[in-house]
Amino acid sequence: MKKKIHLIVGARPNFMKMAPLYKEFTKFPEEFEVKLIHTGQHYDERMSKFFFDDLQMPKPDEYLEVGSGTHGKQTAKIMERYEKVLLKDKPDLIIVAGDVNSTAACAIDAVKLHIPVAHLEAGLRSFARTMPEEINRILTDAISNYLLTPSLDGDENLLAEGVPKEKIFFVGNIMIDSLMQYQDRAKKSDILNKIDIDSQQDYALITLHRPSNVDSKTGLLTILNAFEEISKSINLIFPIHPRTTKQIKVFGLEEKVKNMKNLHLILPVGYYDFLKLQMEAKFILTDSGGIQEESTYFGVPCLTLRPNTERPITITEGTNKLVKLETEDIIKEAKEIISSNIKKGEIPKYWDGRTAERIVKIFKD
């Protein structure tokens, strides 16, 4: 009997985690029947369709069209719509990734119908429960049957929470599977020609979307003021997340951003283009989870604009550094890198492009 498996995607960081797994499962059509379920948490072309194209994924088998909303509303909508799919389809296993609302919502649905759940990227903890993603991580790990960890700190966190070790599988970092598969293609991206900067000049790459950074005017200004000063020394390329675009409008900061001469504000870009922007950057300023990892793989210094990280290995082994959220601290750290005081790093264990292979092995009887 074939095992029926649902792979869940919903938001931008899910696509590059599920694509390699989808491909690996479909190598064994006699053993697995795999369906791709898209909740529609992210729905803009640039937050969703671009990734299906770049990552060569088929159209989802189910598209739940939940869209945006408050946490309660979005989570409830996903649960209501995905439950119907589960009741109709009765899979043997569902696999969820990361820490977005779609992750926790679908896991809760499945476990209540006694359908086993595997959590990809299990065990990560920022230990800050004010972060919505930390709640999603804790909830999903607590109810999942298979905890697939990207690094050994994940195993340690789960063991410390009393999770039996038979449930924990150190499989490695699946984002790196996608990165390794597509980095040659990404090198050919012409994104830098499209942005109006001299190709010989250095630039720093920026992303910003955490509610704690962009949902208050003071918090956002603290960071934008630092960008303003840093942009006097280096070009800044900023593919801006829709949440941040919205907040800049709400706080009336559009003119301020427009007037920063060397700040190149662009719409969110596809996967190849973003890998290219990362690999060529002098350094990265971000509050993203995944970008802390990708920059470590590329050996590009990363300044993380957050008081904590659920990915400490990017600091202990990689090129990442947390920066205090004060304008002067952000400027100081950036200037240190500009004057070539660069942190070097190593690539952590099992960030080797073979994570999907290790995962599929677990489920092959």
Which stretches of the chain bind ligand UD1, using CB under 6 A? Answer: 11-13, 41-44, 47, 68, 99-101, 132-133, 209, 241-243, 246
Percentage helix, strand, coil, to 5, in the chain? 45, 15, 40
Q: How far apart are CA 75 and CA 72, in angstroms?
A: 5
363 binds ligand UDP (CB under 6 A): no
Q: How far apart are CA 206 and CA 234, in angstroms?
A: 12
What is the separation, in whole angstroms, between the first and last Cα of the chain?
Answer: 11
CB of 357 to ligand UDP, least distance (A): 20
Q: How far apart are CA 154 and CA 137, in angstroms?
A: 11
13 binds ligand UDP (CB under 6 A): yes
**Residue 358 binding partner per list ligand UD1, ligand UDP, none, with a CB distance cut-off of 5 to 8 Å that depends on partner kind:** none
Tokens of 203: 């630039």
Q: How far apart are CA 96 and CA 225, in angstroms?
A: 38
269 binds ligand UDP (CB under 6 A): yes
CB of 292 to ligand UDP, least distance (A): 8
Query: Among residues 34 and 120, whose Cβ is nearest to ligand UD1?
Result: 120
**Residue 213 binding partner per list ligand UDP, ligand UD1, none, with a CB distance cut-off of 5 to 8 Å that depends on partner kind:** none
96 binds ligand UDP (CB under 6 A): no
294 binds ligand UDP (CB under 6 A): yes
* Pattern 200-239, ligand UDP, x by CB under 6 A: -------x-------------------------------x
Place of tokens 């950074």: 213
CB of 213 to ligand UD1, least distance (A): 11
**Residue 269 binding partner per list ligand UDP, ligand UD1, none, with a CB distance cut-off of 5 to 8 Å that depends on partner kind:** ligand UDP
Strand partners, 36: 7
Strand partners, 34: 5
Q: How far apart are CA 313 and CA 293, in angstroms?
A: 9
- Nearest 5°: CA angle at 53, between 73 and 348? 80
Let me know if 209 is a catalytic residue. yes
Q: How far apart are CA 251 and CA 246, in angstroms?
A: 9
- Catalytic residue among 38, 42, 119, 209, which? 209
**Residue 147 binding partner per list ligand UD1, ligand UDP, none, with a CB distance cut-off of 5 to 8 Å that depends on partner kind:** none
As annotated, the active-site residues are 209
